[in-house]
Amino acid sequence: MGNNKHATVQFSPSSNFSSTITYRNKYVGLNTGDSWDASLRYQFKQVNLGFNYNQETTTTQQLLTEQGYFIRDASGNLSQVINTQDLIAQGFLMLDPSDPAGTRLIPGPNFNNSRLVSNPFDLVNDVIIRKRGTLSFSYQTGKSSYTASMYNERRSYELRAGEDMSYGISGGWQWQVEPRLNFYLRPSWQHNQGQLADNTRYDLALGLNRSIPINLGRPLLMDTRFEIRHISQSSDTSTFDYTENRASANFNVRF
């Protein structure tokens, strides 16, 4: 028996600044005790600053439902994998030969291929308490726009001792060469500290976006993209190490 309580305060002293802070006291549930959520936003003439912090209780099953496995296409876009048989066919996963029932899946020969994106933390059969803070920045000037963000996330568990942590930083620069031609640079760095492995990942993308007018019965724009990308991951477990260099071209028309 017991009650869960929460209180939310919104504070916006000016049109440029807004904030929301929520306090929760849980007597009933998986993650009892006190927790805080916060969201702060400030907008200058050309600059936007933001900060978010949240705490939540979740499970491995919920993480798989929310995130699961994704495949990155040649344009860098992610699509969620609905049928795990597709991952088996591509060598990302395989059936565990030591499982008599033939239902347990284990990493396949292509599991660490950078096209496969999965949860960066250890997936365990336990209740997970997540605490994540994110600081973001954007700046617009002339023909250029800049973005940057950094985050820190910590996870503790109801049954398992210890804590996992992930932190990283990403940025972006886009330059409008002409009205329908843009150049972009997008670097990112991420480090994951888990009880199973520690991984560090670097990702650098250089590309051009170009909109080309075409006529297929009516005026349309064909979006084209050419990108060069370097991805590298190092780990204290050598099976998780990989490096990839690739060039990709993409063409898209929306009717």
Going by pLDDT thresholds of 50, 70 and 90, the confidence category of residue 218 is confident
User: Residue 122's closest CA among 214, 194, 211?
Assistant: 194
Q: What is the pLDDT of residue 216?
A: 77
- 13-25 average pLDDT score: 89
Beta strands in 110-197 (DSSP E): 116-117, 127-141, 144-157, 163-178, 181-193
Q: What is the pLDDT of residue 51?
A: 94
Tell me which residue has tokens 């028309």. 253
Written as six digits, the tokens of 18 are 């807004």
CA 106 vs. chain centroid, Å, equals 23
Provide the β-strand partners of residue 167. Answer: 152, 191
In the predicted structure, residue 30 carries a pLDDT above the cut 60: no
Specify the higher pLDDT residue, 64 or 176. Answer: 176
What global pTM score does this model have?
0.65
Q: What is the pLDDT of residue 95?
A: 73
Comparing 59-63, 151-155, 229-233, the range with the smallest average pLDDT is 59-63
User: Residue 206's closest CA among 223, 188, 187, 232?
Assistant: 187
Q: What is the pLDDT of residue 150?
A: 95
pLDDT in tens, 187-216: 999 998 877 678 898 999 999 988 888 887
Going by pLDDT thresholds of 50, 70 and 90, the confidence category of residue 20 is very high
pLDDT in tens, 86-120: 677 777 777 767 666 555 666 677 766 556 665 54
Going by pLDDT thresholds of 50, 70 and 90, the confidence category of residue 236 is confident
Three-class SS state of 240:
helix
Q: What is the pLDDT of residue 250?
A: 82
DSSP string covering 40-57: EEEE-SSEEEEEEEEEEE
Cβ atoms of residues 221 and 212 within 8 Å = yes
Cβ atoms of residues 121 and 197 within 8 Å = no
Residue ranges of alpha helices (H) inside 44-174 are 60-66, 84-89
Written as six digits, the tokens of 218 are 């009516």
Mean pLDDT, the chain, as a whole number?
A: 79
Cβ atoms of residues 128 and 162 within 8 Å = no
Q: What is the pLDDT of residue 108?
A: 72
For the four alpha carbons of 51, 57, 59 and 64, in that order, the dihedral sign comes to: negative
User: Residue 157's closest CA among 37, 30, 54, 18?
Assistant: 30
Tell me which residue has tokens 């990942």. 201
- 176-193 average pLDDT score: 91
Specify the higher pLDDT residue, 78 or 190. Answer: 190
